[in-house]
């Protein structure tokens, strides 16, 4: 039995929201966890963080960027079509409890998983600040949903086209200067999460970072999401994806990511060269 697509829309350029009927996944899903989907029978297995769930209808919402073959295939599907597989929930849920004042920092598409996380923290009785950042206003989405999920919403853009000009770390610094922050979580690009960890370390603010961007296989088999946390080897997909940000060796992760990107660039060049040769 396939997993029927209930709705699909493009949130911003090349970024999509898709809602799938997956009641057994939704039943046990918690903030911070992820699923693995297959768009077609012989397709690859791709992990995506859970963006939202509807416990009553069994609807599972995912947000993704169409960058590779499988996500582009997913983007080509429409309402009424079916996915071959949706497996989950997987990974460890975000550590939700009443801390006091919580700051959620979302960079780019990291806003999607941050929605459910902020919502859960607010339900637990926390004062929740949400800081969403992107390069430009066209890449900001879910503003109304975010307002409902948090106590106060801040938006930053690199070019100043929406909200405050600058990065999410600038807003975090202002919040920390005016009141006590008890917990922070960062979801987004590695440099952003590293910067957040560096800012909160000396202030003694417990901070977590979601390492879902480096997951590939989702079961701990491929080793792509291997990282060092507190001097120990961990795997983002089975031990995380959330870890104590002050203990993550971000430099190691960033360097490995650069290697993968370079390998992918060379592979693409070879594929293009092969096409030209055949022509």
Whole-number pLDDT of residue 157 = 93
The pLDDT of residue 224 is above 60:
yes
pLDDT of residue 12: 86
Domain borders along the chain are 3-90, 101-254
Long-range Cβ contact pairs of 198-204 (< 8 A, separation 24 or more): 199/169, 199/172, 199/173, 200/172, 200/176, 200/245, 200/246, 201/246, 203/176
How far is Cα 20 from Cα 8, in angstroms, rounded to an integer? 9
Pick the CATH number of 101-254 from 3.30.70.3460, 1.20.1260.10, 3.40.50.80, 3.30.499.10: 3.40.50.80
Residue 273 has pLDDT above 60, yes or no: no
Once rounded to an integer, what is the mean pLDDT over residues 180-200?
94
| Per-residue confidence (pLDDT) for residue 29, from 0 to 100 | 94
Tally Cβ neighbours within 10 Å of residue 23.
15
Q: What are the Cα distances from residue 268, in Å, to 14, 56, 253, 263, 272?
A: 20, 44, 23, 9, 6
Tens-place pLDDT, residues 123-137: 999 999 999 999 999
Evaluate whether the domain defined by 3-90 bears CATH number 3.40.640.10: no
Query: In the predicted model, is pLDDT for residue 276 greater than 60?
Result: no
> 114 pLDDT exceeds 70?
yes
Residue 185 predicted with pLDDT over 90: yes
35-59 confidence digits (pLDDT tens): 999 888 887 888 899 999 999 999 9
Q: Is residue 6 scored above 90 in pLDDT?
A: yes
**pLDDT of 265 over the 80 cut:** no
pTM beyond 0.75: the answer is: yes
Residues with Cβ within 8 Å of 99's Cβ and at least 6 positions away in sequence, in order, are 121, 126, 182, 183, 206
**What does the mean pLDDT of the chain come to?**
87
Q: What pLDDT does 50 receive?
A: 93
**pLDDT value at position 1?**
59
Share of the chain above pLDDT 90, in %: 56
Domains 3-90 and 101-254 alike in fold: no
Greater confidence, 118 or 216? Answer: 118
**Residue 278: band (very low, low, confident or very high) from pLDDT cuts 50, 70, 90:** low
- pLDDT confidence of residue 69: 84
pLDDT at 244: 92
Q: What is the average pLDDT across 198-220?
A: 85
Average pLDDT over residues 193-216: 89
Task: Indicate whether 28 pLDDT > 90.
Answer: yes
pLDDT-derived band of residue 260, with 50, 70 and 90 as boundaries? low
Q: Which residues does 191 contact at the CB level (< 8 Å), separation at least 6?
A: 254
């Amino acid at each position: 039995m396939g997993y029927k697509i209930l709705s699909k829309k493009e949130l911003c350029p090349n970024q999509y929201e898709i809602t799938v009927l997956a009641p057994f996944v939704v039943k046990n899903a918690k903030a911070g966890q992820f699923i693995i989907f297959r768009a077609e029978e012989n397709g690859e297995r791709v992990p995506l963080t859970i963006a939202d769930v509807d416990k009553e209808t069994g609807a599972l919402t995912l947000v993704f960027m169409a960058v590779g073959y499988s996500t582009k295939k997913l983007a080509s599907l429409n309402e009424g079509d079916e996915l071959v597989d949706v497996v989950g929930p997987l990974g460890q849920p975000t550590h939700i409890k009443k801390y006091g004042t919580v700051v959620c920092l979302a960079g780019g598409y990291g806003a999607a998983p941050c929605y459910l996380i902020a919502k859960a923290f607010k339900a637990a009785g926390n004062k929740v600040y949400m800081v969403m950042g992107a390069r430009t206003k066209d890449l900001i989405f879910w503003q109304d949903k975010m307002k409902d999920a948090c106590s106060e919403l801040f938006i930053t853009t690199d070019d100043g086209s929406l909200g405050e000009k600058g990065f999410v770390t600038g807003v975090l610094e202002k919040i920390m200067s005016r009141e006590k922050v008890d917990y922070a979580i960062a979801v987004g690009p590695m440099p952003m999460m590293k910067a957040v960890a560096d800012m909160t370390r000396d202030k003694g603010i417990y901070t977590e970072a979601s390492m879902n961007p480096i997951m590939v296989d989702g079961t701990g088999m491929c080793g792509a999401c291997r990282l060092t946390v507190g001097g120990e080897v961990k795997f983002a997909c089975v031990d995380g994806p959330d870890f104590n940000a002050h203990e993550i060796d971000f430099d190691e992760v960033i360097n490995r990511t650069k290697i993968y990107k370079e390998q992918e660039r060379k592979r693409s060049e070879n594929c293009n060269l092969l096409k030209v040769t055949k022509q």
